[in-house]
Amino acid sequence: MTGTSDPENAGSGEFSFIARHFRPLAGAEALDLRDDCALMRCPVGEEFAISTDTMVENVHFLSDDPPETLGRKLLRCNLSDLAAMGARPHAYTLNVTVPRGGRHDESWFSAFSHGLAEDQRRYGVHLIGGDTTSISGPLVLSATVFGLLKQNTALRRNTASAGDDIWVTGTIGDAALGLLVLQGKLKDSSGFLATRYRLPQPRTGLNLHGIVNAAMDISDGLIQDCGHIATESGVQLVIESEAVPASEAAASLGQNWLMQRLCGGDDYELLLTCPPERSRALQSACQDAGIPVHRIGRVQTGRGVRLLDAIGADIVLEQGGWQHF
């Protein structure tokens, strides 16, 4: 972990800063964050799955989100990409671009790195490198995560087949509602929805190779992500809106929020397509991992996404909105 040369910030104590907050997070492959690169080996017969994400203050998180959750949210979004392909979490790099002016002080970074340490233990990953820079602007965080999987076992988006059922893990739409709660537009005295926005639960630990035909994680919103599978696989996805699982907190808000739930992002649940004859294997694998899973529709020939209401009539989806006929 070395700082990119910053002519305005020479002698800023960056090295001791890294030592205090990030060296405790580093694994052996990081060479103690003291050299130009990390060195990482891959077990014979395996390959790396690699995902990278950036989060920007006031775009992907709020200025008053607790520092403990920010690094964890970034890490978890990336871990969700690993889960989508069936890879085991292994390591990550972290780039932190800190606003000038001292708002992110020693205690802020202490909380930030403690949150990361907790998730390192939870998901079995370690830091292998990074960069710290300064900005006249908002906080920007980027992470690149590395997972391992056996060669030729990655789950893909482009392999859904007509005849598959569509399944999702967990509950859908909580994070989008949680953002509305944090923006003061919605009330949730339980705090559950806001937590779902701040701390997604990546569905790592599932071994679905040989069971599902296609997989991805839901980050853009259920309907948009169903569209990605439809496009990449050349099929049509039909969603039964009534079957899409809602949390207790979301359900208590009533049906008015259905479309926010189905179109809102940040769920980080898995979207899966599975042949009906392997439904039981899927349910069993999810049960073993303690992850709820629900069937929400079917894959058929055609293109795009269809959304059905309770009596099987189409809800017409439009770019940037929807209409109910």
Is residue 319 close enough to count as binding its own copies by CB under 8 A?
Answer: yes
- In the shown chain, the binding pattern of residues 234 to 273 toward its own copies, with x for contact by CB under 8 A and - for none, equals ------------------------------xxx-------
Pairing between β-strand 236-240 and β-strand 293-300 as defined by DSSP bridges: antiparallel
| Residues within window 155-184 making contact with its own copies, judged by CB under 8 A | 156-158, 176, 179
Q: Of 16, 24, 28, 59, which one interacts with its own copies (CB under 8 A)?
A: 59
Is residue 77 close enough to count as binding its own copies by CB under 8 A?
Answer: yes
- The answer to whether the CB of 58 falls within 8 A of the CB of 138 is yes
**Rg of the chain (C-alpha set):** 21
CB nearer its own copies, residue 85 or residue 166: 85
| Residues within window 94-123 making contact with its own copies, judged by CB under 8 A | 95, 97
Residue 227 CB, nearest distance to its own copies (Å)? 10
Residue 55 CB, nearest distance to its own copies (Å)? 6
Q: Of 23, 47, 240, 309, which one interacts with its own copies (CB under 8 A)?
A: 47
Size of the site for its own copies (CB under 8 A): 76
Q: What residues contact residue 48 under an 8 Å CB cut-off, 6+ apart?
A: 42, 87, 90, 146, 147, 148
Q: Measured between alpha carbons, how far is 96 from 92 in angstroms, rounded to an integer?
A: 13
Residue 66 CB, nearest distance to its own copies (Å)? 19
Angle between helices 106-123 and 67-85 in degrees, nearest 10: 30
CB nearer its own copies, residue 50 or residue 289: 50
Applying CB under 8 A, the span of 76-84, 107-115, 244-252, 275-283 interacting with its own copies comes to 76-84
Give ∠ CA 54-55-58 in degrees, rounded to 5: 150
Residue 34 CB, nearest distance to its own copies (Å)? 6
Q: Measured between alpha carbons, how far is 24 from 34 in angstroms, rounded to an integer?
A: 13
Q: Measured between alpha carbons, how far is 244 from 167 in angstroms, rounded to an integer?
A: 9
Applying CB under 8 A, the span of 81-89, 204-212, 236-244, 280-288 interacting with its own copies comes to 81-89
Q: Is residue 167 marked as binding?
A: no
Q: Is residue 157 marked as binding?
A: yes
Instruction: Tell me the C-alpha to C-alpha distance, in Å, between residue 72 and each of 43, 61, 243, 268, 321.
Output: 27, 12, 30, 13, 31
At residue 311, φ and ψ (nearest 5 deg) are -100, 15
Is residue 84 close enough to count as binding its own copies by CB under 8 A?
Answer: yes
- The answer to whether the CB of 176 falls within 8 A of the CB of 260 is yes
Cα dihedral 131, 268, 110, 12, rounded to 10, equals 20
Q: Of 17, 20, 23, 55, which one interacts with its own copies (CB under 8 A)?
A: 55
Q: Of 65, 232, 240, 242, which one interacts with its own copies (CB under 8 A)?
A: 232
Give ∠ CA 85-91-97 in degrees, rounded to 5: 105
Q: Of 151, 255, 287, 301, which one interacts with its own copies (CB under 8 A)?
A: 151
Q: Which residues are annotated as a binding site?
A: 36, 51-53, 60, 81, 130-131, 157, 217, 219-220, 266, 322
Please state the residue numbers annotated as binding site for substrate. 60, 266, 322
